[in-house]
A and B are shown apart, each in its own frame.
Chain A
Amino acid sequence: MAKVKGAVEVDVNRCKGCELCVFACPSKVLALSQSVNDKGYAYAYMKQPELCIGCASCAYMCPDGCIKVYKIKE
């Protein structure tokens, strides 16, 4: 069976750290960073990138449209 692998790219300085993507992710890939962006918000990043399936739930939930989703089939 073809395995689907995904990845997300977060626009760090656009992110406001609302954490909605973290709760929306079915694979628990995302988390908020320990460091902060230019505005002083902790931003979302891929804590467990190997689990991402590229479902785009995080990007659909993101109010600010910070997330780009990529997907490949192996």
Chain B
Amino acid sequence: MRDVSIIGIGQTPVGEHWDRSLRHLAYDAVAAAMQDAGVQRADALYVGNMLSGEISGQSHLGPLIADFAGLRGIEAVKIEGACGSGAAAVRMGYLAVASGLQDIAICAGVEKMTDDVGNRLTGGLAQAADADYEVIHGISFVALNALLMRRYLYEYKVRHEDFAGFSINAHANAVGNPNAMFRRPITAEAFKKAAMVADPINLLDSSPMADGAAAVILCPTERAGEFTNNAVRIAASAMATDSLSIHDRYDPLWLQAAQDSAQRAYRQAGVGPDDIHLFELHDAFTIMAAMSLEASGFAERGKGWQLAVNGDIRPGGRLPVCTMGGLKARGHPVGATGVYQIVEAAQQLRGEAGDCQIPNARLAMAQNIGGSGSTIVTHILEGR
């Protein structure tokens, strides 16, 4: 196995891109990443995406994006793992380069959601869950998270407002990120009074649907110096799965796939939770942020929310999370999100995070979650 590094990053602003289609957004991110790396060609392209078939009527994104980006002929394929598609695509690129079969791999994530905002989009997102035994009962994706959150509040005797810190931190951080969707702070009062979506989850627990694309270029670490003096090493890459549905979990309040992938990643990188300087976690809903912190070893069971209450997750805290706004405020273009997390972690490690910069960050973790915890991909990145 070869050591692998990120030599280029690219992203579009996250938001409502009425004038840019799926292929244009993907091109923007891929072209920016190729320019950043200074490469004209690549050996392979892995495109993370969830909803292209449902929303744009377009499957088969591998050749479409490769051709559109001027890369006709190379190996290219769409990678789908619901909201975890983006990091899954990076994982596939990592495997390709680490194995020695490919030298330059492009890993992109793209999602075009705003062409259909309504019940069809709600139904498309619900396809991340079990069609025969969850979705058929009229359940939406937010409702699945609401079932988890209500049980969490009940079992651990926590108040809903104890989760406010996750969203307040995300919004405060997004102010400094020019690519974020919501660049404005929110207050605890606003969190408390936000409109209910599926009780107990309200609007400010929830990340927004959006369009966006992000990309990274990977190559063997031994060759990274040919392209850049600011490469970010992939110290660990790990994926784990759990049951598709919540009702099939041994313990619905524990993200087993987060624990499994985080532990594999710590082992590969030879580090532990205490060594991580910042954590781009998957705050699709505040409850996911808390459960991710617990299963990844940053908090005890039932106590992930305490890191939001005591300020540990803020810049300058013990473990800054969602340093560029997270899913909540940067926005959540589902299949692209995992690549955004890795691009943002790389920005931090390269010292290019601008107003969001965490000083002296050298080791960053990114965790992307598909479905209600069914596919979880954890990466640990190391700066120079």
Do A and B belong to a common assembly?
no
Q: Which residues of A contact B (CB under 8 A)?
A: none
